[in-house]
Every structure is written in C-alpha cells, then in structure tokens.
Structure 1
Amino acid sequence: MNAVLQTDQSLVLIVDDEPFIRTQLRLSLQCEGYRIAEAQDGREALTVFEKLHPDIVLLDAIMPDMDGFDCCTQLQSLDCGKYTPILMITGLEDRESVDRAFEVGAIDYVTKPIHWPVLRQRVRRLIQQSQLQQQLESANRELQRLVTIDELTQVANRRRFEEYCAQEWQRMAREQLPLSLILCDVDFFKSYNDTYGHQAGDRCLQEIAKAIKNTVKRPADLVARYGGEEFAVILPTTNPEGAIVLAETICSAVKILEIPHCNSLVSSYVTITAGVSTEIPEPNSDFQAMITAADRALYQAKTEGRDRVKHYNKQSSSTIPIYPFLP
C-alpha cells in the first residue's frame, strides 16, 4: 500500500495492478490537491477502503485474482461504502462491460487511454455530488428528529409516541407478546408553577424527563412527553411485573432529584404518580384501549393519594371514569 496524504482535501483511492498507471493517476490528482491512497489489487483495495474511508475510488476493471467488477460489488456491501462514488477505469468499451460496471454499483466510468481533463472533471463532480447527498440526508435526519422531539424536554413528542405505539402494537400483535405502557403525571404541577414560576416549571419538566430517560435503558423502549406535565413510556415485550418495577424505579429517580415543592400535599419535593397497563394485542385491534387502561390506573393512583404506581385492574375499573381529570 502506498499513501500520500495532504491535509484538508478529499481522499482518492486508486486501485490498479499496473504501477505505471497508478503513478500517472497519483501525479495528475495530486496536482489538483487531492490526498492519494493506492492499492494494487481488489483485496488490498477492500482493506484500504475500510481503514481510510476514501471520498472516491478509481477502480481498474481488469485485474488478476479479483477484478474491478467483483471488487466494486464488495465495496458497495460495506457499511462505510454507502456514500462513496466508484469511478471505473476500463479499456473495455463494449456495451456488456459498460452495463456491468453500472450494475455492480459504479457511478461512472472512463476508458483507457485516459483523457486527463475529463478524469479531473469527473472526479471533482462525483465528490461534490457525494458530499451534497450526505449533507442532504443529514439535514433530512435532523428535520425528522426535530418533528418527533419535544422541544422543551428533548424526549419524543406526542406525535412520535402515537406513531411508535401503533408500530409496536402491530408488532406485538403479530408475535403475540405483551406491550406495556406507563403514564406518569407530575403531582400538583399547577401549584408548582404558581409557586415557583413557569420558567422553574420548565426546568422541573426538563429534569424529570432526563431522569426518566436515564432510567429507561432498553433501546426499544420509548420515553415521550404525552402532554403538559404528563410523560409516557412504551415498553415492548414487557410483562406487568416488569412494567411495575420500572414505573416504581422512575418514581424513585424523580424523588432523588429532590426538587423542592413547598405546596405539594404529599412531599416537600416534586413527586410523580404513574399508571401502568399491559396488553397482548389482538390482530386488527387498536392501541387506544391500552392508553385508556393506563389512564384509568393513573386516575386510581391519584385518588389513593398520589406519589405511587398503580397497575390497571379490569375487575376494579367499573367505578373509574374513562376520562378523569385531577390536577
């Protein structure tokens, strides 16, 4: 392997079994300010590619052992090769070879003998296109994140909660596994705002959201701001016992924050109350029943004194309103 590096410039990987051709390409592209790495065959190219992550690959089509077509296919299969353009350099001009180059993932090709001004322009254009594509996809990912994240608390918003709830409900229905939901409500939050001010209330919600997020460890679990001072946690493949334990841990994590609340009727610090429900979804059913059940459990926990966890009990639910409200 032979690499000549210059700072703050795009890296070009040249793959060719002929040293003279590699030297010509290297000298020509160095004059344009590119950094250069070289590989003398397809297998070495794969190793260099994974190590250096070049911005473009100039790949000879005809090489011994592993030709450029096979090498191109393998480069495309690498995780780090998603955005890297591959420019095939070939002495073949027949239709079949050109078609094959594009089929295996080459973005463009040039023929031997190389027309140097054309090569320089294509390298520049392909690198610019690749960079623009990466910037666009990064901007799209950030936009998607912004429309699904609650601005104040930086956990998922209500929209993302409902999307994920529907998604996991259908998945659990297919696999016939339990889906659990925790609904949390900050106790006497209106009184907290009245006492300490809305800015302090915002900071309080931020700290609580952070504590909940730090408590919920599994990647598949989702923490969301359900609305106002309410938070929700979606727990795929979680039975009632596991959901109750996690809800109790979340309540404890909030208590540990020791956020003063002099007008709370249950503690001198901010506390939360949680309602838990668990369902094994039936095919073609709706997740709203699970939300209603968690809401009923939350209401029951409030009526019993707040600062506690209550799991939905169908046997005792008949006396509990479907859409209760307690501040």
Structure 2
Amino acid sequence: MAAHFDSAVILVADDDPFIRHMLTRYLQREGYQVVEAPHGEAALDLYFCHLPDLVLLDALMPVVDGFEVCRRLQTLTQGTLAPVLMITGLEDEKSVDQAFEIGVVDYVTKPINWAVLRQRVRRLILQHRLEIQLREANYQLQQLTLIDSLTQVANRRRFDEYLLQEWGRGGREQLPLSLVICDIDHFKAYNDHYGHQAGDRCLQEVAKILSQCISRPADIVTRYGGEEFAVILPNTSLEGATVISQRLVTAVQQRGLPHPTAPRAIVTISCGVASVLPRADYLPSDLVFTADQALYQAKAQGRNQYQAIYVMPPSPRQACDAGAMSAAPILGSLWPEA
C-alpha cells in the first residue's frame, strides 16, 4: 500500500544537540516535518501543540527522562498517543521491558543505524495512519447505528442510551431533565390519502423542522417510533421545555404542509412535555410515561398544542413508597378552545 508521508510530523526529543540535529536533517531529507524538543518538558508541551504522527524519544534525558515523558503522554492522551520510537543506548532486558510496558512501540539503539531507523519510521507512521482511519471508520459505523435511516435524526436506540446517560448526569449534578414527545396529528389519515411514500416524505420534513428548532448541542431530536418524535432536553426546566414545545408546534404549523383530511387542512403536531429532577427513587421510564400522559391530554384537548406535566418529588408521607410521585399539570395551548 502506497503511503504519502510528506505531511507527516515527527517530534524529536533529545538533550544531545548533535544527535538531535543529525536526526532532524536526516528526517527532513526523507520528506518529514520535524519538531525539535531539547528536553522532556519541552517534548510534553510540543506534543500537544503539533500532534505529531511519531515521537522519537531519547531514553536518557535530565530532569524528565524518556520513560517518564512516555508515561505522562499515555495518561494525558487517554489511548490516542502517536507511536513512540525510543532512541537508547540501553539494551539490558530490564530497560527494554520497561520501555514496552509504558507504551513504547519500538526502539533503536545508539549509534543509530540509519537504514533501520528509516524503515521503522515509515512502518510506524503508516501503522498510525491506518489506525486513525480505522477509528474514524468505526466511529462513522457506530453513528450509523444510532441514526434513523428515513428521517436522519437519532433513532430509538440512541434515545434510550441518551436518556439513561442524561438521567444519570442529572441525578449526580442535581440538574433538571425534560422530555418532549411529539406526534403528527391524524397521520394515518395522511397516509390513507397520499400513500405511504408521501407519508415518509412528511416524516422527513417534520424531522427537519424539529431539528431546526433545537439549538443547544446537548438537546437531541429522536424518532421515537412511527410518527412520534422525542426531544431530550438536559438541564432544562419545565418552563424552558414549554417554550421549546411551543416553538415546535408553531414551526410545524407555519410550514403549512397540506393535509386535506385534517381539521385545519395542514400537518400539525401535538406535544407532551414532562420535566423531573432525576432521583434514585424514579426511573427514566417514569419521565417517558409522564410525557406520554401529557401527549394524551394534548390530543384530548384538540391537538396542535402541547400539554406539560412536572413530576413532583414525593412528600415525606409518600417517601416510603418507591417511585411515588404526584403530577401537577401546567397546560398550554396554541389553539385555545372556545
């Protein structure tokens, strides 16, 4: 496999200026970009400034030696460290074992055999770049498993994972967590009138509208199932969630997607909103159930609106009952009934 290394960056850390200069000149002739560090502390700083493809590290340096530099880099990079090729005059078994234990992937001895160095540098850089490509491919594949193929928003699996994640964070940090469940009004009638392909396009358009209404990186829109979408709002009170719900309802209504069999002749949504301060005696399913109950209320009140419920902490009398809660509804309607 051909590799192009003209843009590869190598960090050379050696306290001997002559050896460092020789290494730099040789590597530059091979087409690499070289960053020089005269000691261990400089190597640590320069690594994060340049994020090299390879580190050539002298084992014996004053104050912070090569072993300690590698050990610190392993900790700071959390498993993403570029390959470290150690340059050493030590060939005893203990030193070699120590080097590999702390994450050194290979070593060359002094005096340097330049042909050996050349091949090891090329091999390690190629290996490093292939590992980066593999990580990126795995990340993209993982993302695909969390995206709904039709609407391109997060899928039900991602909903379950993210709700559990934010439930735990909210409980640890005492932050409110809100959930909005959105349902397209009269969607079966839409499918019956236009057909399922048009229904799919309607789902895609609604998903796009909902996503455009969400601005914070932590907030996500998911396809909950069928014609239902769910919006997870970490660190959001009920008041904040109702503002977003109103925005969602209004945005879909203003888009004006035709729906001749619906009462208002356009596509609308109903939203159920629930908010809670996560606690050990609640479950994430309690929040979902409450949002679903609020959605039922919104539909019962005439659709094209939201209804909101806050999950109240149990009273001292209720505290002995696991999962005890009371619901105080806060109602909001885009289309108030006469």
Give the corresponding residue for 1:271. 268
Q: What are the superposed Cα offsets for residues 142-189 of structure 1, whole Å, 9 maximum, x if unpaired? A: 121111111122211111112222333344445555332211011122
**Which residue of the partner structure matches residue 82 of structure 1?**
80
- What residue number does 2:296 align with? 299
Structure 2: distance between partners of 1:287 and 1:184: 18
1:236 corresponds, among 225, 234, 237, to 234
Query: Which residue does the alignment assign to 2:125?
Result: 127
Distance of 1:48 and 1:205 partners within structure 2: 50
User: Equivalent residue of 2:145, what SS?
Assistant: helix
Which residue of 133, 137, 140 maps to 1:139?
Answer: 137
How big is the shift at 1:45? 3.6
Instruction: Return closer, same or farther for 1:51/1:174 CA change in 2, 3 Å cut-off.
Output: closer
Query: Is contact 1:75–1:81 with CA below 8 Å preserved after alignment?
Result: no
Task: Tell me which residue corresponds to 2:58.
Answer: 60
CA contact (8 A) 2:74 2:81 kept: no
2:151 counterpart SS class:
coil
Rounded to whole Å, the distance in 2 between the matches of 1:244 and 1:103 is 55
- Aligned residue identity for 1:158: R
- What is the one-letter code of the residue matched to 2:233? L
Q: Distance in 1 between matches of 2:327 and 2:66?
A: 69
Instruction: Check 1:35–1:78 CA distance in 2 against 1; reply closer, same or farther (3 A cut).
Output: same
Q: Distance in 2 between matches of 1:185 and 1:263?
A: 17
Aligned-pair CA distance for 1:66: 4.3
Displacement of 1:256 in angstroms is 3.2
Unaligned runs of 5+ in 2: 311-325, 330-338
1:260 CA drift (Å): 2.9
Distance 1:92 1:154 in 2: 56
**1:222 aligns with one of 213, 220, 223:** 220
* Structure 1: gaps spanning 5 or more residues: 1-5, 318-327
**C-alpha displacement of 1:288:** 2.2
CA distance in 2, matches of 1:179, 1:54: 41
Matches within 5 A, 1:30-179: 30=28, 32-64=30-62, 66-76=64-74, 79=77, 82-174=80-172, 177-179=175-177
Bigger shift: residues 176-185 or 73-82: 73-82
Percent of residue pairs identical: 54
Partner of 2:199: 201
Amino acid of the residue matched to residue 131 of structure 2?
Answer: Q
Q: Which residue of 1 aligns with 2:305?
A: 308
The one-letter code matched in structure 2 to 1:306 is R
Superposition pairs of residues 182-197 of structure 1, within 5 angstroms: 182-197=180-195
What TM-score do the two structures reach when normalised by structure 1? 0.81
Contact 1:53 1:80 in 2 (8 A): no
Residues 243 and 276 of structure 1 are in contact (CA less than 8 Å); yes or no, is this contact kept in structure 2? yes
Query: 1:273 Cα deviation (Å)?
Result: 0.6
Q: Report deviation, 1:308.
A: 0.4
